[in-house]
Amino acid sequence: MNKDFLCLTDWSRSDLDAIFALARDLKGKQQRGEPHRLLAGKTLAMIFDKSSTRTRVSFEAGMVHLGGHALFLAPGNTQMGRGEPIKDTARCLARYCDGVMIRTFAQAAVEEFARYCDKPVINGLTDSYHPCQVMADLLTVIEHKGGVDGLTYCWIGDGNNMANSWINAAAVFGFELRVATPKGYEPDAAVRERAARMGATVVYTNDIMEAARDADVLNTDVWASMGQEAEQKEREQAFRGYQINMEVVRAAAPDCIVMHCLPAHRDEEITDEVMESRHSAIYDQAENRLHVQKAIMATLMK
Ligand code: CP
Ligand code: NVA
């Protein structure tokens, strides 16, 4: 078992399957109003160098459900924001808290933090990966489709942190993934190469209809991620034609589900019509952040 949850490919399928099982158990308990205070008296520090709605609220609410407590730390009011070295903050937080969740820019910063922190560290999104989100997404697929295997997954849009996370999932779980991006916006070469070495079946294309054809799961994300706001206009040009709309949904399997990690720019990467359609699993995904992260925290911190 790993100390940290930083990147999906650090984990084995069997350990991730155990997290899904625990998440479903905790979700049932929460829905039935049964206590599940697996982390009674424990504390999670949450460091946010980027904005968040779902991640912050789901981790904080999740800790309360588990009988613990979460602390919100923003760069404007911590010494890290004034340049205190990561290793000093990491060592100190490890002495006060039972775990740390970090949302920041560089994956290397989270890895460095985890090296110096002898408590579990959870990646709450970096420029490279968003492993908690893809776990919530896969839990949603399990609920909608009965499992993750034997399905065809399609990513349309930017080759960003979420695309990388889906490629990692394809490598760990062994399902077929098709990734359609505009030229110049393909996922990171190192991520692609690692997945290939792990035996992943991932098809990369610029043709969105080729990717979407008969797919069971359609997935997208914003065209400009946090930190790329200055590129918004240029990206709107580059990504024109890479939108999930009803034409794309009709090319997929008749009972396909459509996913988006949120926040969405309606009528850019996905139409309002698709988001409001019977195919949308988007709010189930958002809800499952809570359940799967409770399972991740309980696994690492108990
Ligand atoms: N999907 C997600 O991580 O949402 P937030 O940015 O609101 O946390
Ligand atoms: N790719 C997006 C995901 C937000 C949850 C970003 O990094 O901004």
We report the CATH number of the domain holding residue 106 as 3.40.50.1370
Residues 144 and 269 placed together within one structural domain of the fold: yes
Measured in Å, how far apart are the chain's first and last C-alpha atoms?
13
Ligand 2 pocket check: which of 49, 125, 228 to mutate, most ligand atoms within 8 Å of Cβ? 125
Residues 120 and 146 placed together within one structural domain of the fold: no
Q: What distance in Å separates the CA atoms of residue 262 and residue 6, rounded to the nearest whole number? A: 20
Q: 3 lies in a domain? A: no
Residues 145 and 261 placed together within one structural domain of the fold: yes
Q: What is the per-residue pLDDT for 244? A: 98
Residues 116 and 216 placed together within one structural domain of the fold: no
Residues 247 and 147 placed together within one structural domain of the fold: yes
Residues 177 and 220 placed together within one structural domain of the fold: yes
Q: 2 lies in a domain? A: no
Residues 142 and 126 placed together within one structural domain of the fold: no
Identify the residues whose C-beta falls under 6 Å from ligand 1: 52-55, 125, 133, 261-262
Residue-by-residue pLDDT tens, the chain, 302 positions: 799 999 999 999 999 999 999 999 999 999 999 999 999 999 999 999 999 999 999 999 999 999 999 999 998 899 999 999 999 999 999 999 999 999 999 999 999 999 999 999 999 999 999 999 999 999 999 999 999 999 999 999 999 999 999 999 999 999 999 999 999 999 999 999 999 999 999 999 999 999 999 999 999 999 999 999 999 999 999 999 999 999 999 999 999 999 999 999 999 999 999 999 999 999 999 999 999 999 999 999 99
Residues 138 and 38 placed together within one structural domain of the fold: no
Q: What distance in Å separates the CA atoms of residue 150 and residue 139, rounded to the nearest whole number? A: 15
Q: What is the per-residue pLDDT for 1? A: 75
Q: 45 lies in a domain? A: yes
Q: What is the per-residue pLDDT for 186? A: 98
Q: Which domain holds residue 100?
A: 8-130+288-301
Residue nearest to atom 1 of ligand 2 (CA): 225
Contact assessment for residue 221 and residue 162, using Cβ atoms and an 8 Å cutoff: yes
The four Cα atoms 182, 160, 268, 272 give a dihedral, to 10 degrees, of 130
pTM, 2 dp: 0.98
Residues 96 and 159 placed together within one structural domain of the fold: no
Residues 279 and 293 placed together within one structural domain of the fold: no
Q: How far is the CA of 116 from the centre of ligand 1 (A)?
A: 26
Residues 54 and 174 placed together within one structural domain of the fold: no
Number of domains within the chain? 2
